[in-house]
Structure 1
Amino acid sequence: MDTITHTLFGVGIYQSVNKEQMSKKEKYALLLTSIGASQIPDIDVISQLWDTTGQYQMWHRGITHSVFLAPIWALLFYIINRYIFKIKGIQSFFIALLAVFIHNTSDVFNAWGTGYLEPFSTVRLTFGTIPIVDLVIWFIFLLAFVATKIYPKVKTHLLFRIGWILIVLHIALQSIQGSILYKYYQEDYQDLALSASFIPWHFTIVGKNGDTVDIINDSLLSNAEFVERITSSNNVDLDLLFAENPAAATLYQWSPFVVVVEDNNRIGIYDPRFYRNGESFLGEYLEK
């Protein structure tokens, strides 16, 4: 998910806790913990500062997003609460654990995927059923906030807990529909990937057979729209590309499958899941 959504998750966690018996210092600590832990897995972006071998694609959403690292992040925020805010008790550990778990797990549902099981598996888990920027989630949080103003007698934490229930139902409904479409197209293609549209309940199906890749927009409530058939130059030797542009080798390993491009000007590969208006924003090339 994007940074705004992860921040909203942190605010949503903070607002879902009953703070009636909390001191001002405890509330500050809770706010720091819920928002900080909701963002901490994305600390991997700093790896760009020293990446000289083109490995950023693997480092981003890699080990820092592992479900097995979540307790370590939670322990960090427990230590901050215990020794900086001087707050006793273990609640901060579980709040941080929940925040990190939501961050890592929500990222699995969009097309980018995560190293959810690292270091025990290098597989990038991705369902592709939720867009990276999900406006429905934003809208639900907005509704929860507005509800606190319209119904001031209803406790804030109860309204935000209802919001969380709606978010879970939204993700479940999206994922069920995506799963049905995936299974429908699975028999037609050797390789298949799913990418959720910004429009709820709509998906892009990316299917590959041999050297052809089909892009299809579809939903359970409308007819399929065939967007484009792309030809991949699979017979091209990519060794020079990988040697001159190590990020290309990383992308080749990271993506479920790629389209190979060769023309008079360049050779390269791109991830067709992010194909829009004739090109993909996720590609690596070598000029001839």
Structure 2
Amino acid sequence: MDSLTQIVLGAAVGEAVLGRKIGNRAMLYGAIAGTIPDLDIIASFFTNTVSALEIHRGFTHSIFFSVVFAPVFAWLVTRYDKHKSIKDWSWLFFWTFITHPILDAHTTWGTQLFWPFDLRLAFKTIFVIDPLYTLPFLVFLIMALLQHRSSNKRRKYNRLGLLVSTLYLALTFVSKGIAYNMFENALEEQGLVYNELETKPAPFNTILWCANVETDSHYLIGYYSFFDSQPITFIPYPKHHEYLGDLIHSEKIQRMIAISKGWYTITKKEGDLYFNDLRFGLLSIQPEAKNFVFSYLIAVAKDGDVSLIEAPKGSREGKKLLIDLWQRVKGN
């Protein structure tokens, strides 16, 4: 999830664990701890694109990290904070660390919660930024913050924030199940033969859902809103895996295929090849759209070394997507 959401979650968890003993400092340290797992993004400055993608939401988003580093950070804090209980601080850091990847596991990218095992949990029930999850949570947190640390209202507001946000997460599974059935029925009614079907929420909401459908030669992308009155339309995107040629044997290409879980297309543009990660869809929901959210230029050096460079995104594309999403959420 986005940084603000993880800060709010971390602060609320910190308050629940240690708020009565140390007051607002529990929220402060919880908020800081809630962002620590995302420091793995620093790897992008020191390594290549493929390695950075493999590292992201890996080790720092694992149970192992939460268990091992909670007492380490607890010890560091006791060096200067007047509250000297390593046990209390370890408990705060453990719960703020572990709730971070558990929340991230609900997104499309997912987390390697069981690192070092190569198993990424990705429930794909919530977009990385969802105001309906974050804003009510933030309001309850602020209401709790304004109360005295011994106040019953403080604990009540904080618990309500945790409860409401958790219930919303639970509802996203229900929404996903309904959307999945609608896509499945639409494919059957249209006589479309497919190998696999995956669903995920469209950006910023859980009313509009997107389906990725794999066939032998194409991927189909379709959208469904709970306010739709017309049949679902599926747009085909050729796989064109054959464009890779001998590059298919490249180590980095194989690693990218593994990262994308096999959901990728290859496109040609002005003589260059691009690797498109299909899991995150496009920067437009228009039928003619071809601008994938994550697209990587495949660059081959003279010595044969392969590198992948993420294609830049335009600010206009983002603004246009927001307008299109608002219209599409209201139904087709």
TM-score range, shorter chain: 0.7 to 0.9
Give the fraction of aligned pairs with identical amino acids, expressed as a percent: 21
Q: Distance in 1 between matches of 2:146 and 2:60?
A: 40
- Over residues 45-101 of structure 1, what are the superposed CA-to-partner deviations in whole Å (9 max), with x where a residue is unaligned? 111222147311101111211223211231222212333325125122112111111
Match of 2:174 among 173, 176, 183: 176
Which is bigger in relative contact order (C-alpha 8 A, separation at least 6)? 1
Preserved CA contact (<8 Å) 1:177 1:220:
no
* Secondary structure in structure 2 of the residue aligned to 1:155: helix
C-alpha distance in structure 2 between counterparts of 1:189 and 1:80, whole Å: 54
Q: Select 1:280's aligned residue among 292, 300, 310.
A: 292
- The residue type equivalent to 1:286 in the other structure is I
CA contact (8 A) 1:18 1:157 kept: no
Do the aligned residues in 1 keep the contact of 2:13 with 2:30 (CA within 8 Å)?
yes
After superposition, what is the alpha-carbon deviation per residue over 1:230-278, rounded to whole angstroms, capped at 9, x for unaligned?
11113333543775x93x4433211121112235522222112322322
Check if 1:125 corresponds to 2:121.
yes
CA gap of 1:126–1:68, structure 2 versus 1, over 3 A, is same
Q: Identify which of 174, 190, 199 aligns with 2:195.
A: 190
Structure 1 segment 13-28 matched on structure 2, within 5 A:
13-16=13-16, 19-22=19-22, 27-28=24-25
Match of 2:47 in 1: 51
Code of the aligned partner of 1:155: K
- Corresponding pairs, count: 281
Partner of 1:268: helix, strand, or coil?
A: strand
TM-score, normalization by structure 2: 0.74
- Structure 2: give runs of 5+ residues left out of the alignment: 301-332
Q: Which of the residues 8, 30, 34 maps onto 1:34?
A: 30
Instruction: Note closer, same or farther for the CA distance 1:21–1:110 as it changes in structure 2 (3 Å cut).
Output: closer
The farther-off stretch of 195-204 and 218-227 is 218-227
In 2, the alpha carbon distance for the partners of 1:192 and 1:173 equals 21
Aligned to 2:307: none
Counterpart position of 1:105: 102
1:213 corresponds, among 219, 223, 231, to: 219
1:96-115, Cα deviation, whole Å (9 max, x unpaired): 11111111011110111122
5+ long unaligned stretches in structure 1:
none
**Superposed displacement of residue 175, structure 1:** 1.4
Partner of 2:69: 73
Partner in structure 2 of residue 64 of structure 1:
60
User: Residue 214 of structure 1 aligns to which amino acid in structure 2?
Assistant: L
2:265–2:277 contact (8 Å) kept in structure 1: yes
CA contact (8 A) 2:11 2:28 kept: no
TM-score, normalization by structure 1: 0.84
Using the TM superposition, name which of 35-44 and 234-243 deviates more: 234-243
d(CA) in 2 for partners of 1:125, 1:183: 22
Name 2:316's counterpart in structure 1.
Answer: none
Displacement after TM superposition at 1:146 (Å): 6.3
Match of 2:10 in 1: 10
Secondary structure in 2 aligned to 1:97? helix
Q: CA–CA distance in 1 between the matches of 2:113 and 2:198? A: 18
Q: Write the mapping of 1:83-162 to structure 2, written as runs, cut at 5 A.
A: 83-85=79-81, 87-120=84-117, 122-145=118-141, 147=143, 155-162=153-160
Quote the residue 2:310 is aligned against: none
The one-letter amino acid of 1:38's match is G
CA-CA distance at 1:151 after TM superposition: 9.2
Q: Secondary structure of 1:235's partner?
A: helix
Instruction: Determine if contact 2:40/2:55 at 8 Å carries over to the other structure.
Output: yes
